[in-house]
Amino acid sequence: MNIGSRIAKLREDRGWTQEQTSASLGISRAALSHYEKNRREPDSETLLKFANLFHVSVDYLVGRTNSPQMTLDEPIKEFVDQLELSDEELLDKYDLTIDGMKLSPEEARRFIAFVRAERMMK
């Protein structure tokens, strides 16, 4: 089953019209029709909108799994959501240590800056 067929089936299973669904997604009815008929594929932002609206995973929409359920358990989802932290969030949330000694806030900032500079050189 392709993306368009899955989108159409999810919509029809809920008894929603294309007008209702497209309004909920903030797209035109014509765009939804093109997606459902596989004339166009939704971009990643629109795929996320579909997944959120229908409470399914993007993997399900693109055919990587036949299980429509979200695949991340809540603790894993929380962890993934926190992977990209600002410097301040990182310093507030975690105690960085080297050789068993906690880094001071200034040492931690320098450490983060060093890693970024090293990555830029590669």
**Predicted pLDDT of residue 102:** 87
> To which residue do tokens 């497209």 refer?
22
Q: Amino acid identity of 9? A: K
How far apart, in whole angstroms, are the C-alpha atoms of residue 65 and residue 78?
22
pLDDT in tens, the chain (122 residues): 799 999 999 999 999 999 999 999 999 999 999 999 999 999 989 999 999 999 898 888 998 888 777 555 667 666 656 666 677 777 777 788 888 888 888 888 888 888 888 888 87
How far apart, in whole angstroms, are the C-alpha atoms of residue 78 and residue 76?
5
**Predicted pLDDT of residue 20:** 95
**Predicted pLDDT of residue 7:** 96
Q: Amino acid identity of 53? A: L
